[in-house]
Structure 1
Amino acid sequence: MTLELAVRFAEIILGFAIFQQGLEFIRGQQPEKTLGLIRAVLAILLMLGLQPLLVESALLVTAIMLIKRFQGPYNGGSDTMTVLVLLCLWLSHVAPSRYWQEIALGYLALQLTLSYFQSGWVKVVNQDWRSGRALQQVFALSAYPVSESVRLWAGRPQMLQVMSWSVMVFELLFPLSLLNQTLLIVALGIAALFHLANALLFGLNRFFWIWPAAFPVIIWFQARLMSVF
């Protein structure tokens, strides 16, 4: 995948993610209601590929306004990832040379890799995650809109321990996927299914769209690494 194609695909997915986020704010209060509408319109322009530099500049400004409005990211990790992807794509457009374009996108690819590895590391050093109790508490006591049938999973500790270790092993081994493109594609497919499961089970729909927005970039990055080494 070429750098230009990776950027274009990333902008399309990012645009869809921001459009979804914008719609959430439209039903809220001012000023986020107006900001949400503006961001939804800008997201459509981004998906269409119309003046991406200007559109991403405007999206960064509105993102800063929302951060100031809520005294930090409104939705935690998903909003932080949104700004990261947006900023790196914006930098790729303003970069003075191909070298600096690659630096900006390489940074995004490394941050995506670290986001999985760090998440796995935080879990594996936690006894509750290793034993499955952390997931048990998530299913039993979660404030997210979990169905009653899903909450019953809290009564299956052995299954939850297997699930916990499956997630931790995948996240910790994710950096190794950079060694082979086929392995990376498989890893990204598993990651997408993981985010989809979180969206279906816990309503974490924002995570499902924003993490894959960086997938085209890491596919380009892996190929670029192999061409160097």
Structure 2
Amino acid sequence: MNLDPSHALDLTARLAATAALVGNCEALAARRMFAYPGVFHISGVQSMHWTRSPLLAALGGRETQLLSLGLLGSLTAGLLGPWNPLGYLALLSALAVRLAMGQRRILGSDGAEQLTTLVLLSVALGGFPPVSPARTAFAVGFIAAQLVLCYTTSGVSKLASPAWRSGTAVGDIISTQTYGLRVAACALGRVPFGSLSLGWAVMLFEAAFVAALFGPPWLVLAALGAALLFHLGCAVVMGLNDFLWAFPASYPCVLVLGQWLR
């Protein structure tokens, strides 16, 4: 069964909006970090910009209202999709909030946030009226290529790391206070070569992910299913909730790219 590019972009937009929704909820739960002496307070963030930003001054003290707007926009965009006029406007508002809050969150940003912002921007450009099939297809291809690039560079960089090649990286990460889970760390420690095997499985899968796109449809689905399980594990063990939505949001576009490559 072939997936139409417009349908793929619709699914991607809804999932990316869900990722933005999760991010807004987490930021609202930690909104005290935007107040003094929080790490995102304007007094500290301002010094990290090359020049004084009028936008930062305008947003100071309005973080809760802005995040609430982003939450409403991402929720509406997820429900209605980008091909609905109201859904498209909601997607633009969710994107604008992410870009604005990005000025305040120079520290602590991660790959999932960056990918979500890039996907929302690509959908906004691809779905800008009047809708063009060629522009829609370009947006789908661009989003899919970004995901492939994310996985490939992540895998290659891990392969270049002695800690990952030696098998200590996974155990060290899940043993930390910030990204760890004691139960998972203890369970992994009881398995002989568990950390080594899991680390090499992650590295090889990420580095070779692009090869699956040239295979039969079942191989593409299997690769995406394995990637989804990986992000689910990261969400459960490491608390990376937005990763569970941000990366799979691009999967419909990857399915279309696989169709094109075949």
TM-score, shorter chain, exceeding 0.5 = yes
Contact persistence 1:132–1:162 (CA under 8 A): yes
Query: What SS does the aligned partner of 2:91 have?
Result: helix
Moved more, 18-27 or 181-190: 18-27
Contact persistence 1:129–1:135 (CA under 8 A): yes
Alignment of 1:10-25 (within 5 A): 10-25=12-27
Q: 1:146 to 1:126 in 2, by over 3 A?
A: closer
Shift of 1:165: 0.7
The residue type equivalent to 1:144 in the other structure is T
- Counterpart of 1:168 (choices 190, 203, 208) is 203
| Residue 143 of structure 1: aligned partner | 177
Runs of 5+ unmatched residues, structure 1: none
Instruction: Give the CA RMSD over aligned residues.
Output: 1.9
- Counterpart of 1:65 (choices 90, 100, 103) is 100
The residue type equivalent to 1:211 in the other structure is F
- Structure 2 residue 76 is matched with structure 1 residue 45: yes
Task: Tell me the matched-pair count.
Answer: 224
Q: C-alpha distance in 2, partners of 1:120/1:145? A: 19
Task: Note the alpha carbon deviations across 1:55-93, whole angstroms, 9 max, x for none.
Answer: 222222111110112236x53111101111101111111
| Residue 110 of structure 2: aligned partner | 76
The TM-score, its normalising length taken from structure 2, stands at: 0.79
Q: C-alpha distance in 1, partners of 2:28/2:161? A: 39
Query: What SS does the aligned partner of 2:103 have?
Result: helix
Runs of 5+ unmatched residues, structure 2: 33-60
Query: What SS does the aligned partner of 1:175 have?
Result: helix
Moved more, 157-166 or 88-97: 88-97
The TM-score, its normalising length taken from structure 1, stands at: 0.89
Task: Note the alpha carbon deviations across 1:191-228, whole angstroms, 9 max, x for none.
Answer: 000000111111111101111111111112221333xx
Q: C-alpha distance in 2, partners of 1:20/1:70? A: 16
Task: Note the alpha carbon deviations across 1:104-143, whole angstroms, 9 max, x for none.
Answer: 2211101101111111100111121111011232133x13
Alignment of 1:42-191 (within 5 A): 42-49=73-80, 50-51=84-85, 52-71=87-106, 74-94=108-128, 97-140=132-175, 142-144=176-178, 146-152=180-186, 153-154=188-189, 158-179=193-214, 180-191=216-227
